[in-house]
């Protein structure tokens, strides 16, 4: 070898070593990181769960004083993350895609750890739950890190009327990270805000009527309201197990579906509903519904009235939706325009549909059962909670808000004739509305702007997926929702994922501090 070749080889080695150093020192980009990005970095040794948790805890301490998205952080989160890191380095076995991934939990879902579960209220502070909620057991088994409790509208906005969305005595007023948006919406407000503002990777919300879908569209994130029963509701501060569901919130459909796959399934403590709905879970999970060509051949109905009611012709939003429809057609979707749901005005009126009558009675029954089941608690019944509010008028803003819904619920007396008739009415409206429409037009799904038809979908226990659709001229987010019959979750995922991939709407919020 000549000396010039030597020098050349040395130089080459030098350059190669610099290059490999510089790639291995490229800092991990936390903002908008997906679960897939994170798992890749875990596997490449560029990041571990402890670092990820510390990053999010830092972000929370910086941004939460403004956002009020998090009520409590888990004092064990860093320990749990180190354990996950250790397990990754020693275990040869296949780890779950949620292994080492931080998840924020809405404050009405029981965690049997140092975190309190309070539905945003001081009345439940210090109560001790008997065990983890069904979905939390599944998260822990998968190796997910419980990062903390998300703020929410107190008592799922079932205390009174006219209470500010995203407000609770324990969490304060949640703020939308997009400064020009009106509100974070509710009731899963903190779950949406935290994901939108990159305070966590993914979060859990709960939804009966609008509680995941509205915060999702308002904060420009993905929200999945699964078919009732697909996810267990055991260990959840309830309103009505007949209609309520727990679902994921995330920045991308893929992340939301990764979380969904972990939390679905049978739970002996919510046996009837989870057994009935377990037939809707695909054998290989929902992951395989994440198909780029998921819109191909799908028949999607445009609930036109809902679009024109919300956004006038010629507005940025209306024009954006038209462009999205065109994109969907180009991706092979068959859009059926100008369809109408029979009795939609009645279904959108929670008094006329029977929703209110049924929920008032169901709330008292199910809340009392939840409170009785606690190991210990300052309150043991709805009557106790009402008394607590009266005794704490300042924290509970009693002068401003009162508790008219609680009082109405307290006066109910179980499921009698009126409630049974209301339930029959809701079932009939859903049959003549969604079920007949979908069958007559052979639809896979219907779509509407934002979460505008949530009442209509709520009374049938129908699944909804909401995804970002755009930003108005002031920069406030808006969204689109896809809904279908019970059990159509896999189809909705195909549609919403392909829509997301074809439109790529989401932009992170501006720097807040």
Task: Specify the stretch interacting with ligand NAG by CB under 6 A; choose among 22-30, 282-290, 346-354, 355-363.
Answer: 346-354
By the rule CB under 6 A, 272 interacts with ligand NAG: yes
Question: Under rule CB under 6 A, which residues in 92-121 are in contact with ligand NAG?
Answer: 114-116
**What is the separation of C-alpha 97 from the centre of its chain, rounded to a whole number of angstroms?**
18
d(CA 319, CA 323): 6
51 binds ligand NAG (CB under 6 A): yes
Instruction: Please identify, using beta-carbon distances, which residue of 337 and 340 lies nearer to ligand NAG.
Output: 340
Q: Is 181 in the site for ligand NAG (CB under 6 A)?
A: yes
- Pick between residue 185 and residue 195 the one whose CB is nearest to ligand NAG: 185
> How many Å is the Cα radius of gyration of the chain?
24
Minimum distance from residue 35 beta carbon to ligand NAG (Å) = 18
Size of the residue set binding ligand NAG (CB under 6 A)? 22
Rounded CA gap, 179 and 372, in Å?
Answer: 41
502: left (phi over 0), alpha (psi -120 to 50) or beta: alpha
Among 50, 206, 244, 412, binds ligand NAG (CB under 6 A): 50
Q: How far apart are CA 424 and CA 208, in angstroms?
A: 18
Q: Tell me the window of 347-355, 433-441, 484-492, 500-508 that interacts with ligand NAG (CB under 6 A).
A: 347-355
Of 17, 462, 40, which is closest to residue 209 (Cα–Cα)?
A: 462
Interaction between residue 326 and ligand NAG (CB under 6 A): no
- 287 belongs to the binding site for ligand NAG (CB under 6 A): no
Q: Taking phi first (over 0 means left), then psi (-120 to 50 degrees means alpha), and beta for anything else, what does residue 202 get?
A: beta
Tell which one of 72, 132, 154, 500 touches ligand NAG (CB under 6 A): 72
CA distance 457 to 455: 5
472 is an interface residue for ligand NAG by CB under 6 A: yes
DSSP H/E element including 260? helix 253-263
In this structure, the strands spanning 172-173 and 145-150 are unpaired
Q: What is the DSSP string of 113-127?
A: SSS---TT-GGGTT-
> Cα separation of 119 and 106, whole Å?
8
CB of 444 to ligand NAG, least distance (A): 30
Only one of the segments 6-14, 95-103, 360-368, 472-480 lies at the binding site for ligand NAG (rule: CB under 6 A); that segment is 472-480
- Using CB under 6 A as the binding rule, whether residue 179 contacts ligand NAG is answered as no
Query: Footprint of ligand NAG on this chain (CB under 6 A)?
Result: 48, 50-51, 72, 75, 82, 85, 114-116, 125-126, 181-182, 272, 349, 351-352, 472-474, 476
């Amino acid at each position: 070898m000549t000396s010039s070749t030597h020098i050349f080889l040395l130089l080459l080695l030098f350059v190669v070593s610099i290059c490999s150093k510089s790639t291995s020192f490229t800092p991990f980009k936390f903002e908008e990181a997906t679960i897939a990005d994170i798992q890749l970095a875990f596997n490449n040794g560029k990041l571990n769960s402890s670092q990820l948790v510390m990053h999010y805890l830092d972000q929370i301490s910086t941004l939460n004083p403004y956002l009020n998205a998090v009520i409590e952080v888990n004092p064990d989160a860093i320990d749990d993350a180190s354990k996950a890191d250790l397990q990754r380095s020693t275990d040869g076995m296949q780890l779950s895609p949620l292994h080492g991934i931080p998840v924020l939990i809405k404050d009405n879902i029981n965690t049997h750890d140092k975190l309190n579960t309070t539905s945003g209220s001081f009345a439940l502070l210090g109560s001790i739950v008997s065990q983890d909620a069904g979905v939390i057991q599944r998260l822990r088994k998968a190796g997910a890190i419980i990062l903390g409790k998300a703020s929410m509208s107190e008592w799922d906005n079932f205390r009174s009327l006219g209470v500010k969305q995203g407000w609770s005595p324990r969490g304060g007023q949640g703020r939308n990270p997009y400064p020009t948006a009106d509100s974070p919406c509710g009731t899963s407000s903190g779950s949406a805000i935290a994901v939108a503002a990159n305070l966590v990777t993914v979060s859990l919300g709960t939804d009966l009527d609008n509680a995941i879908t509205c915060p999702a569209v308002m904060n420009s994130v993905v929200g999945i309201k699964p078919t009732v029963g697909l996810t267990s509701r055991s260990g959840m501060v309830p309103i009505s197990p007949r209609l309520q569901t727990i679902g994921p919130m995330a920045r991308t459909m893929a992340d939301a579906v990764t979380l969904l796959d972990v939390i679905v399934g049978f739970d002996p403590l919510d046996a009837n509903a989870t057994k009935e709905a377990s037939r809707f879970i695909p054998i290989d999970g929902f992951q395989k519904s994440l198909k780029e060509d998921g819109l191909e051949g799908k028949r999607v109905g445009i609930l036109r009235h809902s679009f024109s009611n919300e956004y006038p012709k010629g507005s940025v939003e209306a024009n954006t939706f038209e462009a999205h429809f065109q994109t969907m057609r180009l991706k092979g979707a068959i859009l059926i325009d100008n369809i109408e749901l029979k009795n939609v005005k009645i279904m959108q009126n929670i008094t006329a549909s029977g929703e209110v009558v049924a929920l008032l009675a169901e709330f008292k029954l199910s809340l009392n059962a939840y409170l009785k089941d606690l190991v210990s608690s300052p309150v043991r019944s709805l009557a106790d909670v009402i008394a607590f509010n009266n005794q704490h008028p300042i924290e509970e803003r009693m002068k401003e808000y009162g508790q008219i819904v609680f009082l109405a619920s307290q006066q109910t007396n179980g499921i009698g004739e009126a409630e049974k008739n209301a339930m029959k009415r809701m079932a009939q409206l859903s049959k003549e509305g969604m079920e007949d429409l979908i069958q007559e037009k052979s639809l896979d799904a219907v779509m509407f702007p934002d979460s505008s038809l949530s009442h209509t979908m709520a009374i049938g226990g129908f699944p909804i997926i909401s995804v970002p659709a755009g930003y108005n001229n002031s920069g406030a987010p808006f969204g689109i929702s896809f809904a279908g019959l019970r059990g159509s979750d896999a189809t909705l995922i195909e549609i919403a994922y392909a829509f997301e991939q074809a439109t790529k709407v989401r932009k992170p919020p501006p720097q807040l501090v």
